[in-house]
């Protein structure tokens, strides 16, 4: 019933096992691309709905821009094309023809088209038509779309050639406004990660060499996975006037002068689902935080006693109805009565592997006692996994139980994050010794584990080379800077900037 590999045995294989066992997604016959299956897509739909609400509340409208970007658009922003040129899908033909019994591309395009890796260039082109005066600003839009980056080593949800995301793009009349926007949207993402995905994060600014190609400032929120790696989960950029200059987004300011606009962009993707897996899943499969669970409670009727099928169905339906009227997180509880024609024990394990927060089995005994037998997914390794409650008591408590599960997941992840940030490493030697170890499941006690180090960084050119050798990166310069002076962990030189060092997905 369990996964082929545990986290301790082989963390990367365990990750693939969870995805397969929970039927969230699979690799497709289309090379490097994934198929997102109903349970995985259901999680994405929940994330979409919750985030979309916040995007609209903060004043943005949804739009849709073309996914084909003329190649020439990429020539305009040198730094930007530099960042993406190596992984672009290029459309060069517009039809297929039969030639010597083979289907071959035909209708060569005058100008090749790039399938968007991100949409700054094409959206800036529209903004340049929309913005003439300061009265037209700000422009604040978002789109939900697919994007393509030609990954060579695909991993489901983490790195596939095509993935789904939202990308927000705004234009403002001043640098201050663009900066404020980038930070506002970072806050929206932090709220999503912590309160919806139950993933605690370290918010901060990317160091210059890790900024988005073409940005002035890139802000990030860095979560810690169960193997001590960070996950690049989403970013928010103040693009200053860079894209406005290359796309000619000019406006007449209130003094009547022509000025380039200040733009921002920000995005999160289906990669977040990979983050949820690596934050909460266990050796039995997926564990979905209730806020983003497509179904929060599953009811499985037990049909062993053929005489009592109708009674069991009736009781199960009564329970479903009662639960569906309850509230958790300010929304109606999402409950499903699973009456598919499969063995009930198979269904129970299926929903366990999928990580449904609460799974109820209803049989004749429960009807006799007017009670509910339920399993709480997060308690699978304890003797509280299976529990009983009187019908009314269970129904009234179900919202609170779901909220408690959400809190439990966050607290557990927060404890892992807090207890795995080393702040006591003082010298380049200690630092190197620490990262000489590999990232393994943090629950292991048989080998040294590696996670985050918080320490000083001098910012020298030579540090970049050294980090490459050590296969580590600076995840961010946390907002809560200490202001102290110490020694750079890479060079030993005096430095004041606090950074988070880690390996990352």
Residues that bind a copy of itself (CB under 8 A): 26, 28-31, 33-38, 41-42, 44-45, 61-71, 73-75, 81, 85-97, 103, 105, 107, 112-115, 122, 125-126, 129, 135, 141, 145-146, 150, 161-162, 164, 341-342
Residue 144 three-state SS:
strand
- In the three-class reduction of DSSP (H, G, I as helix; E, B as strand; rest coil), residue 9 is classed as coil
388 closest CA partner among 370, 408, 407, 409: 370
In the complex, what is the shortest distance from the CB of residue 86 to a copy of itself, in angstroms, rounded to a whole number? 5
Instruction: Rank residues 145 and 404 by Cβ distance to a copy of itself and give the closer one.
Output: 145
Minimum distance, C-beta of residue 101 to a copy of itself, in the bound complex (Å): 10
CB of 261 to a copy of itself, least distance (A): 17
Report the SS3 class of residue 437: coil
Measured from the CB of residue 62, what is the shortest distance to a copy of itself in angstroms?
5
Eight-class DSSP state of 439: P
**Nearer CB in complex with a copy of itself: 94/423:** 94
Least Å from the CB of residue 479 to a copy of itself: 32
Name which of 106 and 393 has its Cβ closer to a copy of itself. Answer: 106
Give phi and psi for 334, each to the nearest 5.
-95, 110
Identify the three-state secondary structure at position 83: helix
Q: Which residues of 19-34 are buried (b: 16+ CB within 10 A; e: fewer)?
A: bbbbbbbebeeeebbb
**Cβ at position 471, least distance to a copy of itself in Å:** 24
CA distance 399 to 386: 18
In angstroms, give the least distance from the CB of 97 to a copy of itself: 7
Among residues 81 and 312, whose Cβ is nearest to a copy of itself?
A: 81
- 273 vs 281 by CB, closer to a copy of itself: 273
3-state secondary structure 329-357: CCEECCEEECCCCCCHHHHHHHHHHHCCC
Which is nearer to a copy of itself, 62 or 396 (by Cβ)?
62
Q: How far is the CB of 8 from a copy of itself (least distance, A)?
A: 30
Q: How far is the CB of 5 from a copy of itself (least distance, A)?
A: 22
Cβ-count burial of 101 within 10 angstroms (0-12 exposed, 13-18 middle, 19+ buried)?
exposed
CA-to-CA distance for 182 and 266, rounded, in angstroms? Answer: 7
| Whether 227 contacts 278, CB under 8 Å | yes
Q: How many CB atoms lie within 10 A of CB 216?
A: 19
Q: At what angle do helices 271-280 and 38-57 cross, to 10 degrees?
A: 110
Closest to a copy of itself by CB, 149 or 375:
149
Q: Which residues contact 335 (CB under 8 A, 6 or more apart)?
A: 295, 296, 297, 298, 299, 320, 323, 324
For a copy of itself, the closer of residues 354 and 375 by Cβ is 354
Nearer CB in complex with a copy of itself: 343/384: 343
Q: How far is the CB of 75 from a copy of itself (least distance, A)?
A: 6
Q: What is the DSSP string of 153-164?
A: S-BTTTB-SEEE
> Of 90 and 175, which has the nearer Cβ to a copy of itself?
90
Quick check: bond before 502 cis, omega within 30?
Answer: no
């Amino acid at each position: 019933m369990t996964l082929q590999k545990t986290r301790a045995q082989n963390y990367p294989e365990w990750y693939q096992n969870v995805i397969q066992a929970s039927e969230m997604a699979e690799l497709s016959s289309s090379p490097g691309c994934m198929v997102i299956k109903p349970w995985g897509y259901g999680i994405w739909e929940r994330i979409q709905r919750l985030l979309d609400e916040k995007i609209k509340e903060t004043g943005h409208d949804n739009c849709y821009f073309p996914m084909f970007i003329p190649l020439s658009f990429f020539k305009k922003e040198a730094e930007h094309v530099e960042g993406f040129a190596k992984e672009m899908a290029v459309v060069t033909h517009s039809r297929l023809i039969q030639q010597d019994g083979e289907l071959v591309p035909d209708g060569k395009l005058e100008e090749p088209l790039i399938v968007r890796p991100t949409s700054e260039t094409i959206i800036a082109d529209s903004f340049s038509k929309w913005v003439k005066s300061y009265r037209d600003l700000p422009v604040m839009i978002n789109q939900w779309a697919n994007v393509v980056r030609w990954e060579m080593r695909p991993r489901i949800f983490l790195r596939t050639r095509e993935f789904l995301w939202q990308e927000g793009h705004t234009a403002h009349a001043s640098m201050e406004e663009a900066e404020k926007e980038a930070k506002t949207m970072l806050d929206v993402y932090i709220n999503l990660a912590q309160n919806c995905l139950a993933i605690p994060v370290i918010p901060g600014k990317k160091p210059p060499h890790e900024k988005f190609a073409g940005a002035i400032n890139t802000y990030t929120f860095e979560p810690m996975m169960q193997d001590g790696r960070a996950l690049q989960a989403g970013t928010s950029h103040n693009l200053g006037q860079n894209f406005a200059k290359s796309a000619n987004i000019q406006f007449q300011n209130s003094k009547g002068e022509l000025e380039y606009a200040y733009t921002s962009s920000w995005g999160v993707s289906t990669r977040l689902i990979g983050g949820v897996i690596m934050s909460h899943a266990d050796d039995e499969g997926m564990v979905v935080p209730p806020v983003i669970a497509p179904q929060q409670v599953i009811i499985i009727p037990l049909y062993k006693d053929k005489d009592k099928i109708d009674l069991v169905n009736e009781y199960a339906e009564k329970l479903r109805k009662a639960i569906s009227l309850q509230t958790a997180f300010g929304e109606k509880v999402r409950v499903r009565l699973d009456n598919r024609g499969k063995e009930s024990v198979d269904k129970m394990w299926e929903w366990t592997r999928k990580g449904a927060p609460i799974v109820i089995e209803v049989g004749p005994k429960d009807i006799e006692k007017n009670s509910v037998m339920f399993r709480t997914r997060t308690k699978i390794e304890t003797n509280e996994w299976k529990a009983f409650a009187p019908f009314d008591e269970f129904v009234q408590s179900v919202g609170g139980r779901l909220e408690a599960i959400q809190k439990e997941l966050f607290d557990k992840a927060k404890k892992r994050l807090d207890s795995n940030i080393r702040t006591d490493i003082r010298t380049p030697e200690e630092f190197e010794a620490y990262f000489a170890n590999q990232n393994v499941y943090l629950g292991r006690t048989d080998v040294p584990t590696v996670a985050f180090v918080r320490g000083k960084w001098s910012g020298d050119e030579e540090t970049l080379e050294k980090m490459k050798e050590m296969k580590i990166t600076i995840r961010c310069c946390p907002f809560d800077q200490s202001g102290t002076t110490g020694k750079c962990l890479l060079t030993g030189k005096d430095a004041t900037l606090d950074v988070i060092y880690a390996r990352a997905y």
